[in-house]
C-alpha cells in the first residue's frame, strides 16, 4: 500500500540497456562484450519496490511493468495491489515477464474493510503470497504505540513522525515479540518475515540504545530477517556499511535508495532523495558486503519528489547498478 495511503488509513482507524541474461554475461557473452557488472557477475536480479512508481503505476500497470522488464529488472516487491486480486496482479506480472518475490504488509489492520495485514487473517495472506509467487513478507513500518493520540494536522508524514517519536523501549520489545510470533506462523506457511526500517527507529532512547537495536536484539534470528533501507539509514546519520558488519546475517534484503548530501540527520521521515549513484551512498563498497552478509534481494526505491517521470528515475538507478563493477 502506498505510504501516504497507509498513513491516512492507519491513523484514521528503451530507457535502458538491451536485455541480456546474466548467465550469458557471466560466460563472456558475445565477442567483445563488456565485462559483467556486480549484479550480472553474481547472478543477482535487480528488483524494484513498486511504491517508487506511485500514481504512474496505478494509472498504467501493464505499461509500467513492461517498462521495468525492458530496462532489465527481473523482480518486484509490492506495496499495494492497486485494487487487483492477487491472481489479477500475478497475471499482469506474468505478461510483463516479472516475478514478485516480496510483499510489504502492514502490521496493523488498515481501514474498516477487509485487507491483508499481519494482525489479520494469516491464512489469507499466505494464500495471496503463494498466488503472487512471493516468498517473503516484509512489515514496512513500526506498530504505533497503543496510547498514541494523533495531533490535529493534515500532514500525514508529520503524524507518522509523531508516532515514531512516541515509541518507547517497551514498545520496541513488544514489536519484537509481535514479529517473532508472526514469523513463526508464516514459516509454517513456507514464508519468511522481515522488518523494513525508516529513520525514527534510530532515535536514541533513554539508556543509549535505539529502537532498531532493540528489534535486532529481541527478534529470533532464525525467524525474523531485516530489510535494510539504506537511504533511511543514511538519513538517520548512520552508515549502512557499519550496520551490516555489526549485525552479520541479520539482513536478508535491501532497498537500494540514495540521498543527496543536503539531507540533514533526522528521525522524522525527512530526506532529499535522488537516483541511485547520484547521491552520497557508497554503493561499490556497500553492495559486496551486503551480499557477503546474506542479502540476496535488492530493490531499487526512491522517495518523492521526482525531477520528472518516476519511471525515468528508476531507469537511471537501474542503469547505474547494471554498470556497477563486479
Decide if 9 contacts 65 (C-beta within 8 A): no
Cell of 75: 523482480
pLDDT at 25 (0 to 100) = 39
The three-state DSSP-derived secondary structure of the chain is: CCHHHHHHHHHCCCCCCCCCCHHHHHCCCCCCCCCCEHHHHCCCCEEEEHHHHHHHHHHCHHHHHHHHHHCCCCEEEECCCCCCCHHHHHHHHHHHCCEEEEEECCCCCCCCCCCCCCCCCHHHHHHHHHHHCCCEEEECCCCCCCCCCCCCCCCHHHHHHHHHHHCCHHHHHHHHHHHHHHHHHHHCCCCEEEEECCCHHHCECCCCCEHHHHHHHHCCCCCEEEEEEHHHHHHCCCCHHHHHHHCCCCEEEEEECEECCCCCCCCCCCCCEECCCCCCCCHHHHHHHHHHCCCCEEEECCCCCCCCCHHHHHHHHHHHHHHCEC
What is the arithmetic mean of pLDDT over 220-243?
A: 98
Q: Does domain 3-8+46-323 have CATH number 3.90.25.10?
A: no
- Choose between 291 and 157: higher pLDDT: 291
Cα separation of 80 and 89, whole Å? 10
Distance CA 311, CA 137 (A): 25
Task: Give the separation between CA 57 and CA 40, rounded to whole angstroms.
Answer: 27
* pLDDT tops 80 at residue 250: yes
**How far apart are alpha carbons 206 and 5 in whole angstroms?**
32
Average confidence (pLDDT) over 51-55: 98
Least-confidence region, from 33-37, 229-233, 235-239:
33-37
- % of the chain surpassing 70 pLDDT: 88
What does the pLDDT read at residue 185? Answer: 98
- Cβ–Cβ < 8 Å for 146, 111: no
Domain ranges of the chain: 3-8+46-323
According to DSSP, the β-strands at 273-274 and 297-300 are unpaired
C-alpha cell at position 291: 551480499
For residue 28, the tally of other CB atoms under 10 A from its CB is 11
Predicted pLDDT of residue 114: 61
pLDDT tens digits along 1-52: 445 544 444 444 433 333 333 443 344 444 455 789 999 999 999 999 999 9
The pTM score is: 0.89
Q: In the prediction, which pLDDT does 256 show? A: 99
Q: Is the pLDDT of residue 325 over 90?
A: yes
Nearest to 257 by CA among 279, 236, 276, 283: 276
Residue bearing the bigger pLDDT, 244 or 150? 244
Q: Are 300 and 46 in contact (CB under 8 A)?
A: yes
Are the CB atoms for 306 and 54 separated by under 8 Å?
no
Q: What is the pLDDT of residues 136-191, one digit of tens each?
A: 999 999 999 988 877 777 787 888 899 999 999 999 999 999 999 999 999 999 99
pLDDT of residue 112: 56
User: Does the pLDDT at position 295 exceed 80?
Assistant: yes
83-87, 148-152, 213-217, 256-260: which has the minimum mean pLDDT? Answer: 148-152
Mean residue pLDDT of the chain comes to 90
Confidence tier at 322 by pLDDT (50, 70, 90): very high
Q: Which of 241, 234, 107, 249 is nearest to 167 (CA)?
A: 107
The lowest-confidence range among 6-10, 57-61, 73-77, 96-100 is 6-10
So what's the pLDDT on residue 15?
Answer: 37
Q: What is the mean pLDDT of residues 281-286?
A: 98
pLDDT per residue as tens digits for the range 94-121: 999 999 999 999 998 765 556 899 999 9
Mean pLDDT throughout 233-242? 98
Amino acid at each position: 500500500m502506498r505510504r501516504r495511503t497507509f498513513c491516512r488509513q492507519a491513523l484514521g482507524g528503451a530507457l535502458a540497456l538491451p536485455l541480456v541474461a546474466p548467465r550469458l554475461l557471466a560466460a563472456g557473452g558475445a565477442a567483445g562484450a563488456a565485462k559483467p557488472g556486480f549484479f550480472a557477475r553474481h547472478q543477482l536480479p535487480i528488483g524494484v519496490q513498486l511504491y517508487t512508481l506511485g500514481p504512474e503505476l496505478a494509472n498504467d500497470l501493464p505499461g509500467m511493468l513492461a517498462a521495468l522488464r525492458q530496462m532489465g529488472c527481473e523482480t518486484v516487491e509490492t506495496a499495494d495491489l492497486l485494487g487487483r486480486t492477487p491472481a489479477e496482479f500475478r497475471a499482469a506480472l506474468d505478461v510483463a515477464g516479472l516475478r514478485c518475490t516480496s510483499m510489504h504488509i502492514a502490521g496493523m489492520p488498515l481501514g474498516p474493510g477487509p485487507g491483508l495485514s499481519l494482525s489479520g487473517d494469516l491464512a489469507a495472506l499466505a494464500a495471496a503470497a503463494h498466488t503472487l509467487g512471493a516468498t517473503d513478507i516484509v512489515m514496512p513500518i513500526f506498530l504505533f504505540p497503543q496510547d498514541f493520540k494523533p495531533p490535529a494536522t493534515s500532514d500525514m508524514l508529520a503524524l507518522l513522525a509523531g508516532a515514531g517519536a512516541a515509541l518507547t523501549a517497551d514498545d520496541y520489545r513488544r514489536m519484537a515479540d509481535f514479529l517473532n510470533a508472526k514469523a513463526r506462523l508464516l514459516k509454517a506457511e513456507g514464508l519468511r518475515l522481515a522488518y523494513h526500517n525508516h529513520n525514527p527507529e534510530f532515535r536514541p532512547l533513554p539508556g543509549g540504545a535505539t529502537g532498531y537495536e532493540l528489534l535486532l536484539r529481541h527478534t529470533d534470528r532464525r525467524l525474523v530477517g531485516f530489510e535494510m533501507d539504506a537511504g533511511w539509514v543514511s538519513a538517520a546519520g548512520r552508515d549502512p556499511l557499519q550496520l551490516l558488519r555489526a549485525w552479520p546475517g541479520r539482513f536478508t534484503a535491501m532497498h537500494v535508495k540514495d540521498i543527496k548530501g543536503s539531507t540533514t540527520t533526522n528521525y522524522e521521515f525527512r530526506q532529499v532523495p535522488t537516483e541511485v549513484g547520484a547521491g552520497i551512498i557508497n554503493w561499490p563498497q556497500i553492495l559486496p558486503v551486503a551480499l557477503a552478509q546474506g542479502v540476496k534481494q535488492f530493490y531499487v526505491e526512491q522517495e518523492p519528489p521526482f525531477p520528472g517521470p518516476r519511471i525515468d528515475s528508476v531507469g537511471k538507478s537501474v542503469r547505474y547498478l547494471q554498470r556497477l563493477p563486479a
